[in-house]
């Protein structure tokens, strides 16, 4: 586990390291191939993940992959959504989900401009707040609730944990904010006391 995380950080460090065919496709072939490949002869939703040219051609449809923008990429959303959600892939009970390390690799690949079939799109940014694969994991009892800051702005997010004077709040799209507790409204701060151990 430790070794895998180190390897991934190295790959993330070397921005040109990730290539679809080399780094991402093998994961998809293993975990999605049954329903999305030339090999199985099944292309559910019209999507084949083991065919780089076809896959690249599908990027624009339903914003499947928006190079540089993992947050806008439907493919990433299917991986990130909790098991059982209608958008989650694979469908509930129909296969093994990607590990959080694998999800992070896909996120990094999209951020690198989603290089595939010899072409690369625009580069983007990884969420700066997400520093480790651990933070991508859902909390043991994820409860999405409203959080209000001292300016009266409200967001919907899940509390992952409290670290010193920041609350780690995860938005639906996967972004994790390290939110200074002093900037939360009194009512929101009270929620931290009951939720954090
Ligand atoms: C057991 C079969 C099965 C497996 C395994 C599976 N899928 Fe799917 N997938 C489907 C079906 C069925 C659809 C079309 C219906 C739908 O959109 O819910 C679909 C649709 C999709 C779509 C939407 C395509 C579009 O443009 O509308 C994406 C993206 C996707 N799958 C990604 C994946 C990924 C990534 C994996 C592996 C992590 C995966 N799927 C594994 C059955 C599967």
What's the gap in Å between 145 CA and the centre of ligand 1?
29
List the CATH number of the domain containing 162. 2.30.30.700
CA-proximal residue: ligand 1, atom 2 (nearest): 35
Mean pLDDT of the chain, nearest integer:
84
**pLDDT the model gives residue 184:** 92
Pocket flag, ligand 1, residue 106 (CB < 6 Å) = no
Query: Are residue 95 and residue 154 in the same domain, yes or no?
Result: no
Greater model confidence, 75 or 168? 75
What percent of the chain is modeled with pLDDT above 70? 82
Greater model confidence, 36 or 104? 36
Query: Are residue 117 and residue 47 in the same domain, yes or no?
Result: yes
Q: How does pLDDT run across 13-37, given as a tens digit for each residue?
A: 444 568 999 999 999 999 999 999 9
For residue 61, the ligand 1 atom closest to its alpha carbon is 26
Could you give the number of structural domains in the chain? 2
On whether residue 132 sits in a domain, the answer given is no
**pLDDT the model gives residue 73:** 95
Q: How does pLDDT run across 149-188, given as a tens digit for each residue?
A: 888 888 888 888 888 888 888 888 778 888 889 889 999 9
Terminal-residue alpha carbon distance, the chain: 26
Domain C-terminal end among 126, 153, 174: 126
On whether residue 85 sits in a domain, the answer given is yes
Alpha-carbon distance 130 to 119, whole Å?
27
- Our mutation pick for probing the ligand 1 site, out of 33, 57, 61, 91, counting the most ligand atoms within 8 A of Cβ, is 91
On whether residue 137 sits in a domain, the answer given is no
**pLDDT the model gives residue 13:** 46
Domain that holds residue 168: 144-195
What's the gap in Å between 2 CA and the centre of ligand 1?
30
On whether residue 163 sits in a domain, the answer given is yes
On whether residue 182 sits in a domain, the answer given is yes
Query: Are residue 36 and residue 10 in the same domain, yes or no?
Result: yes
Query: Are residue 68 and residue 10 in the same domain, yes or no?
Result: yes
**Residue 66: half-sphere exposure toward Cβ, Cα within 13 Å:** 11
- Our mutation pick for probing the ligand 1 site, out of 40, 45, 84, 96, counting the most ligand atoms within 8 A of Cβ, is 45
Query: How sure is the predictor about 50, in pLDDT bands with cuts at 50, 70 and 90?
Result: very high
Q: What is the pTM of this model?
A: 0.68
Query: Are residue 14 and residue 66 in the same domain, yes or no?
Result: yes
Query: Are residue 120 and residue 53 in the same domain, yes or no?
Result: yes
Mean pLDDT of the 67-81 span: 93
Pocket flag, ligand 1, residue 37 (CB < 6 Å) = no
Helix 100-111 with 25-32: angle, nearest 10 deg: 140
């Amino acid at each position: 586990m430790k070794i895998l995380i180190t390897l991934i950080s190295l790959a993330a460090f070397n921005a040109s390291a990730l290539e679809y065919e080399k780094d991402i496709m093998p994961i998809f072939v293993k975990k999605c191939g049954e329903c999305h490949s030339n090999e199985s002869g099944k292309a559910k939703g019209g999507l084949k993940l083991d065919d780089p040219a076809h896959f690249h051609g599908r990027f624009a449809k339903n914003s499947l992959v928006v190079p540089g923008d993992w947050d806008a990429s439907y493919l990433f959303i299917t991986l990130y959504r909790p098991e059982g959600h209608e958008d989650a892939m694979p469908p509930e009970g129909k296969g093994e989900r990607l590990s959080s390390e694998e999800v992070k690799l896909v996120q990094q690949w999209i951020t690198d401009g989603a290089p595939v079939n010899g072409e690369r799109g625009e580069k983007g940014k990884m969420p700066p707040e997400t520093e480790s694969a651990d933070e991508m994991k859902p909390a043991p009892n994820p409860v999405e609730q409203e959080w209000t800051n001292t300016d009266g702005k409200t967001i919907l997010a899940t509390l992952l944990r409290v670290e010193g004077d920041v609350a780690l709040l995860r938005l639906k799209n996967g972004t994790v904010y390290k939110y200074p507790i002093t900037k939360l409204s009194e009512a929101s701060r009270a929620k931290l006391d009951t939720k954090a151990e």
